Amino acid sequence: MELLKGKIAMVTGGTRGIGYAIVKLYLENGASVAICGSRQETVDKALDKLKAENPEYADRDELFERIKGLPATVQNIIRLRFYEELSLQEIAEAMGLNLNTVKAKLYRGLKALRVEMEGMKV
C-alpha cells in the first residue's frame, strides 16, 4: 500500500515494541521514516534490522545529510523538536525566538525535507 507516500514521519521510541511496529507500518504504507531513540546503539540496531528485512530502505546518514543542507536555525529546531523531544514553546525559549517563528521555520524545514526526499525511504 502507498497510503502515506510522500509523507515523512519521525517516530520517537521507534526502536522496539509498539514504536518499532509503528515504524514498520509507516514504511509498509510508503512513508519516509526517521527513528529516534534514547540511545544511539538501539537506533542502530533497529535500523540494521529494518534494512536486513527490507534492503531498499536508505541509510539514516542520508537523512542527516539532508538536514545539514537546511539553514542552521532550522536544523537546530528540527533536532531540538525530534531528537531532544522539546516542545515548540521550549524551543522558542531556548533559542530566544517567537513561538510563531519556531513553528514557521519547523514546518518550512519539514516541507523542504519532504520535497527533497520524495520517492526515498528512510
> pLDDT tens digits, the chain, 122 residues: what are they?
678 877 888 888 888 899 999 999 998 888 878 888 878 888 888 888 888 887 666 555 577 778 888 998 998 898 888 877 789 999 999 999 999 999 999 999 999 888 877 755 44
- Quick one: pLDDT at residue 79? 83
Rounded to the nearest 10 degrees, how much is the dihedral formed by the CA atoms of 68, 73, 77, 83?
40
Q: Give the start-to-end residue ranges of the domains of the chain.
A: 1-57, 59-117
Burial of residue 29 (CB within 10 Å: 0-12, 13-18, 19+) is: middle
Find cell 545529510 and name the residue. Answer: 65
- Quick one: pLDDT at residue 63? 72
- Quick one: pLDDT at residue 120? 54
* 59-117: CATH topology: Arc Repressor Mutant, subunit A (1.10.10)
